[in-house]
Amino acid sequence: MAHKVALITGGVKRVGAAIARQLHAAGMNLVLHYRHSETAAHALQAELNNQRSESVLLLQADLGHTGKLMSMVRQIIDHYGRLDVLINNASSFYPTRIGKVGEKEWDELFESNLKAPFFLSQAAAPHLSKCHGCIINLVDIHAERPLKNYPVYSTTKAGLVMLTKALARELGPDVRVNAIAPGAILWPDNEMDDVSKQRIISNITLKRHGEPQDIAQAVLFLVRDGGYITGQVISVDGGRTLNQ
């Protein structure tokens, strides 16, 4: 893992930051993408560079501007000379109740959750191929079982599951492509009452929510140890999908 390079979109907060710390601890150099979280980005960069000098590069970008994705990848190659891992973690999540959905919401969710991962994967593919690298997409258990009041979000994640499988066929044998489907890992940034949280936990086989570290460890497994795995979706959900 030493000196290999991973690009993590949305990599400076929440699950993205946990993935960053896990891969960095395993010896990888990182490129952390962020959109608005500049303070968090520089704090995480300083933290990790204090552990290993010049091991983290920050890239600020709106991934919706697909024309800029090629230049993002070019910056990585100019800086590190290689790209081994792409983790499509950045995502938008909010309700879209039927009868109130406009094209703005549809376009925004598809742009963030499906269009950007496709075009970034396409831009990165030649460099990943040279290193026999891999792509990991962060999907959702609701790609398979839709979340009430989130029809557009659920559909984008279902599309990302299919994109994972399609890219695995297109980019093999040189690039492995897999996905991780988290369950209840972190509660949404908007307030959720305790009754709603308990209702979710009661439907989880392990009767507890997960931690960002659970996702980060699954990522590390696919990057480091999953050399004969491609086109697969690993659910990290405490058994929640068994009870839905």
Give residue 244's pLDDT band: very low, low, confident or very high (50, 70, 90).
low
Catalytic residue among 80, 94, 153, 228: 153
Enter the tokens of residue 102: 């406009």
pLDDT in tens, 72-98: 999 999 999 999 999 999 999 999 999
Residue 69 is predicted with a pLDDT of 96
Task: Count how many Cα atoms sit within 13 Å of the Cα of residue 240 in the half-sphere of its side chain.
Answer: 22
* Mean pLDDT, residues 226-238: 96
Residues 6+ apart with CB under 8 A from 102: none
Q: Enumerate the β-bridge partners of residue 130.
A: none
Residue 97 is predicted with a pLDDT of 96
Q: Enumerate the β-bridge partners of residue 135.
A: 86, 177
Q: Is 94 a catalytic residue?
A: no
Task: Map tokens 């994705």 to a residue.
Answer: 69
- Under DSSP, the state recorded for 10 is T
Write down the pTM of the prediction. 0.95
pLDDT in tens, 128-145: 999 999 999 999 999 999
CATH superfamily of 5-242: NAD(P)-binding Rossmann-like Domain (3.40.50.720)
Residues 6+ apart with CB under 8 A from 29: 3, 4, 5, 6, 55, 56, 57, 80
Query: Distance between CA atoms of 197 and 13, rounded to whole angstroms?
Result: 22
- Under DSSP, the state recorded for 146 is P
pLDDT above 90: percentage of residues in the chain: 85
Task: Map tokens 């009870």 to a residue.
Answer: 243
